[in-house]
């Protein structure tokens, strides 16, 4: 009994600290949800609590559904392309020996050191030259490029954490390298795959700078860009009510996905930490 009490007392600071950190991170989300339905002069919800700001957001310009669909398309394409390329590249870096392997891997990681905003103007010119300017697919290609360095690194350490004997036994039985990757290694590195997919989705869903530079047609604007355009009223005033409603709509899919996939997310990072 005494040992249990002492154990509980020693863990009390841990619980207090984690609870405090959780409150700090959750407070902005709770406040945004409250402010989106609270009365505010000059907003669509001027009197009493209600969903006036959400109604205004729903009916803005091309409609909320259009902007959500644009974000879903861009995020979905980014997740698919990032996952496929990172899976194959991570497998190659982890399992194959070739000339310049380490140098190439360092160059891939070196992209992380380059500010993404500094690449947008050259990428805008490049996309224009291949006919992909002002397109959702072109935007997804750019966002995929942003995610690949971290994703390839993540998949390499995930594959390296899997015993090579599993793949070797499959190859001895006559399976090809691609078959070993698909049937043996992919299930083993599933937490890493979910981690990079979730990370790519969150980054693409919330990105504002790339759509601002690369998208000129308002009907193709993703949700963050549409909300930024909507918040500006006459004489430069800001509609905080509808802005908070947009923040809630933006945050909701991210929160739900993270809660559903958090166990894979944590396992993915832990596998890399244990390998290191």
The answer to whether residue 271 is domain-embedded is: yes
The answer to whether residue 220 is domain-embedded is: yes
**pLDDT tens digits in sequence order for the chain, 276 residues long:** 545 554 555 677 777 888 888 888 888 888 888 888 887 776 777 777 888 888 888 888 788 889 999 999 999 999 999 999 999 999 989 888 888 888 999 888 888 888 888 888 888 888 888 888 889 999 999 999 999 999 999 999 888 888 877 777 777 777 777 888 888 888 888 888 988 999 999 999 999 999 989 988 888 889 998 888 877 655 566 778 888 888 888 988 888 888 887 776 666 555 544 444
Burial of 57 (0-12, 13-18, 19+ CB in 10 A): buried
110 and 20 in a common domain: no
pLDDT score, position 273: 42
SS3 content of the chain, % helix, strand, coil (to 5): 80, 0, 20
161 and 116 in a common domain: yes
Q: Give the total number of structural domains in the chain.
A: 2
Per the structure, the complete domain to which residue 15 belongs is given by 1-37
The answer to whether residue 43 is domain-embedded is: no
pLDDT score, position 242: 83
Supply the CATH number for residue 165's domain. 1.10.3720.10
245 and 144 in a common domain: yes
Q: Give the residue carrying structure tokens 């006919």.
A: 131
Q: Tokens at residue 114, please?
A: 């380059």
Distance CA 83, CA 200 (A): 9
């Amino acid at each position: 009994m005494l040992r249990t009490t002492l154990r509980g007392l020693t863990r009390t600071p841990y619980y207090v600290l984690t609870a405090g950190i959780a409150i700090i991170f959750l407070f902005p989300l709770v406040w945004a949800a409250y402010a989106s339905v609270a009365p505010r002069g000059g907003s669509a919800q001027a009197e009493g609590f209600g969903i006036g700001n959400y109604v205004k957001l729903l009916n803005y310009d091309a409609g909320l559904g259009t902007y959500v669909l644009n974000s879903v398309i861009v995020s979905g394409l980014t997740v698919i392309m990032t996952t496929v390329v990172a899976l194959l590249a991570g497998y190659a870096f982890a399992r194959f020996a070739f000339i310049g392997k380490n140098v190439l891997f360092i160059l891939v990681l070196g992209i992380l050191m380059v500010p993404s905003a500094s690449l947008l103007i050259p990428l805008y010119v490049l996309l224009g030259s291949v006919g992909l300017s002002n397109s959702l697919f072109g935007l997804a290609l750019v966002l995929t490029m942003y995610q690949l360095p971290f994703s390839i690194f993540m998949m390499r350490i995930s594959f390296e954490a899997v015993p090579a004997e599993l793949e070797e036994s499959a190859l001895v039985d006559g399976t090809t390298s691609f078959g070993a990757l698909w049937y043996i290694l992919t299930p083993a590195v599933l937490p890493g795959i979910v981690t990079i997919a979730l990370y790519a989705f969150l980054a693409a869903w919330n990105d504002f700078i790339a759509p601002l530079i690369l998208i000129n047609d308002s009907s193709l604007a993703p949700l963050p860009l549409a909300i930024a355009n909507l918040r500006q009223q006459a004489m430069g005033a800001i509609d905080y009510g509808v802005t908070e409603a947009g923040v809630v709509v933006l945050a909701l899919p991210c929160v739900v996905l993270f809660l559903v996939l958090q166990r894979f997310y944590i396992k993915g990072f832990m596998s890399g930490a244990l390998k290191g």
